[in-house]
Structure 1
């Protein structure tokens, strides 16, 4: 019952937000009761739309100029927009009007957190808790402050208390799981998440949170079971449908994922994310036409969705339509230039059509934005090797070896490059390392570089390790 009420309230809030936006766009007189304004502001803050939230605060204060709650909302939103001095001025004004209000301390804590003054933020939040010890939002803000301060165990403690007081805080669940994961304490918290379903087996939120836990543990069978309970209890629980679909994707069950992604949004209101996810499922199934259709529908909603442009590039790549793939990959990099995956894909496509210089530029960019991704270094080095630039190829593939010193594949590649560069001793030392790590993978050396089959010294060394 509680979850059904939650969804009804959510729909009502969205209707109120739409009505507010329509009135603003048409320059109509705006009148809402105080609770509606609070819901509008909360909606914008939750979605990180702080400019709109401030606009709603100003409109609300035009109607209710003496509302302490709205004055506090405005100060908090102002802080979230980064205007800390003005936020402090506003909250000082509220403190003069209502010095015992716990939200004065909370707002000062939010400002301090935003400024990176975490010790001071904690003190403000604790002062707020002394006044109102059962405020779940204060515990949540304490969690955020400790997490930003890299004190993950303390953060987890307050996130847990926040969830005990309000299990519906989905952000709190995500942040708690993140902190537990970082500190290696996920396994020991199974009972914490299980207890919510034991206490209320008809709570969709409890099952959803348990699903999040198992998803983070990568126990996808149990995650599916938990998310499935959530959507059976509340069929309109769109986020649970999304995570159930995402779990099916992790299991490579793409046909099961598609209908769940279709239920991950209100009827008739598809999101660009859901449509893109469906397109990717069809792509994995190698069903090109529906994949293309869903990617395009996603772009109709959001033309700046880089994932959908990239997805269409992958479709073209898989069909060997390299010039078209280049167009889509380049568009993806224009929209999001910080993706090493995008630049690497562009580099591969450019190389396929013989645009070697453009390919090298793309791979260089890939390693610049994602130096931790070994594939960018390897692909870049392979082109240089093909062009006869052996010394440069050696130096590049060394980055991949440094990133993954126990991955024999990269060691074999380095060996081949060293041989081509005439550095025999280094090559044989590297080969010994590779053979020690994984003898069976030595065939990769000949798959990539067939000419090495005729190297007698190479064959002798491999035979020594075979014995």
Structure 2
């Protein structure tokens, strides 16, 4: 396994690169070559790593470690057959070398044979006392197999070996989250913090767990401890700001977001959060200032354009809202929520044809929310296209068959379209489902309140329902 590149002496690297630039041939110990090769591989300089392996094997043709490094390169380049042949040769020389099994596992993993990779890694575990890297590899294989329980146990072993292995710690918490065992994650992190009380990463993760469970005070305490452990930890300030927002403490939230900006360069996400806080406080000019800074900082952040859209929509500046929602759509035209927002703006502008198109886009992209069907049907009703409005409502009822609101609306549109029998049927269904929502029908279609047969039908259904 490649070692940390920081452990490599610069002298060997300089000497090797000097040799490559001249015709001179320098002799290196096999261990020196290993260090040089690890350095190049860890820094992504594969061609130089291959060159070092070639020269190293010329000087030390029997070096098992150099041959294993050659295998590592072959696996990296997906030359599995050649790698397997070389591993067979090496296993005949040293059948107890765990690195042989690790490389065989890498080959199986790259071929999506994850269970076989696990079996080989377990075999490697039996052959070494230095099992840290193997447990890390096992954890990743289990993740590939969606075996989160086994992955969690493997990464826990890594954390046991090294409390500062934050990558494994994150993976442990990821497994807890995927298993929806939030209580287990909190217990694990608290236990970890008993041993490492000044670990800002663990406090930060604990705070996020509490935040996800709406335990806001506990979350605040955790983020405070993360900040005490490292007062430059931007993530803790940012998450603390989110909690304070949830609690309606917008000025305090702003202070924490501004702290992140003072520690490092401003981010679009911080500007966006500050803008939302100012909007909640009624500071419209400041809200607009920060929203515009959001998109200036990151023109591709579609959430920034959406925030500006919502800001202008609430102020009934519909033309400006339309301009900015189109910015968002240009960035992410596959987002159904943007098309839905676009449809609402067109409706407010009485541009019903464009609103119809936008709602169709939203539904085609997978937005099937109840109000989408209701609002789309209203758009078509406004244009007098009762047939299409009926089809939209029928389609909506496929998703919400128990929706009295859709049924009352459908009954009304049927009546506008002079389909009396269908009106009777749907109105009866709606009243049997929820007679209290009859007022929705009466409010939306007041012109039919004086239709005698309709009044008779309503009276009959009311009698049978009491």
Question: Do the structures match in fold with TM over 0.5?
Answer: yes
Distance change >3 Å, CA 424–CA 119, structure 1 → 2: same
Contact 1:113/1:145 (CA < 8 Å) preserved in 2? yes
The separation in 2 between residues aligned to 1:143 and 1:407, in whole angstroms, is 46
1:409–1:74 CA distance, 2 compared to 1 (3 A): farther
Choose from 136, 142, 147 the match for 1:151. Answer: 147
* Pair 1:312 & 2:308 matched: yes
Identify the residue that residue 29 of structure 1 maps to in structure 2: none
Counterpart selection for 2:209 from 194, 210, 213: 213
Using the alignment, how far apart are the partners of 1:333 and 1:127 within structure 2?
A: 53
- Of 253, 269, 272, the residue aligned with 2:268 is 272
Shift, 1:180, TM fit: 1.7
How far did residue 329 of structure 1 move?
Answer: 0.8
Equivalent position of 1:19 in the other structure: none
Over residues 118-137 of structure 1, what are the superposed CA-to-partner deviations in whole Å (9 max), with x where a residue is unaligned?
33443354455445677566
Tell me how far apart the structure 1 counterparts of residues 244 and 311 of structure 2 sit (CA, whole Å): 21
Which one of the candidate residues 181, 186, 193 is aligned to 2:189? 193
Match of 1:238 among 229, 234, 238: 234
Match of 2:166 among 151, 165, 168: 168
- Taking the aligned partners of 1:174 and 1:243, their CA distance within structure 2 comes to 17
Q: TM-score, normalised by structure 1?
A: 0.70
Query: In the alignment, does 2:288 pair up with 1:295?
Result: no
| Separation of aligned partners in 2, 1:268 and 1:282 | 22
Contact residue 156 and residue 179 of structure 1 kept, 8 A? no
TM-score normalised to structure 2 length: 0.70
Q: How far off its partner does 1:212 sit?
A: 2.3
Q: Residues 343-362 of structure 1 correspond to what in structure 2 (within 5 A)?
A: 343-362=339-358
1:330 alignment partner in structure 2: 326
Assess, with a 3 A threshold, how the Cα gap between structure 1 residues 58 and 340 changes in structure 2: closer, same or farther: same
1:31-180 residue pairs with structure 2 within 5 A? 56-58=44-46, 61=49, 85=78, 88=80, 116-127=112-123, 129-130=125-126, 138-165=134-161, 166=163, 168-169=166-167, 171-173=170-172, 175-180=174-179
Q: Which has the higher contact order (CA 8 A, sep 6+)?
A: 1
Alpha carbons 1:153, 1:179 under 8 Å: kept: no
Alpha-carbon separation, structure 2, partners of 1:153 and 1:362: 44
Gaps of 5+ in 2: 1-5, 7-33, 57-64
Report the secondary structure of 1:85's partner residue.
coil
CA distance in 2, matches of 1:195, 1:113: 33
Secondary structure at the counterpart of residue 350 of structure 2: coil
2:434 match = 435
Who wins on radius of gyration, i.e. which is larger?
A: 2
Q: Evaluate the alpha carbon distance shift between residue 172 and residue 464 of structure 1 in structure 2; reply closer, same or farther with a 3 A threshold.
A: farther
Structure 1: any 5+ residue segments left out of the alignment?
1-11, 13-33, 43-52, 79-83
Residue deviations 1:112-152 (CA, integer Å, cap 9, x gap): 55664433443354455445677566545544443443434
Q: What is the CA–CA distance in structure 2 between the aligned matches of 1:216 and 1:40, rounded to whole Å?
A: 42
Return the offset for 1:344: 0.8
Report the Cα distance in structure 2 between the residues aligned to 1:256 and 1:414, rounded to whole angstroms.
49
- Give the direction of change, closer, same or farther, for the CA distance of 1:355–1:203 in structure 2 (3 Å limit): same
How many Å apart are 1:242 and its aligned residue? Answer: 2.1
Structure 2 distance, partners of 1:148, 1:272, is 33
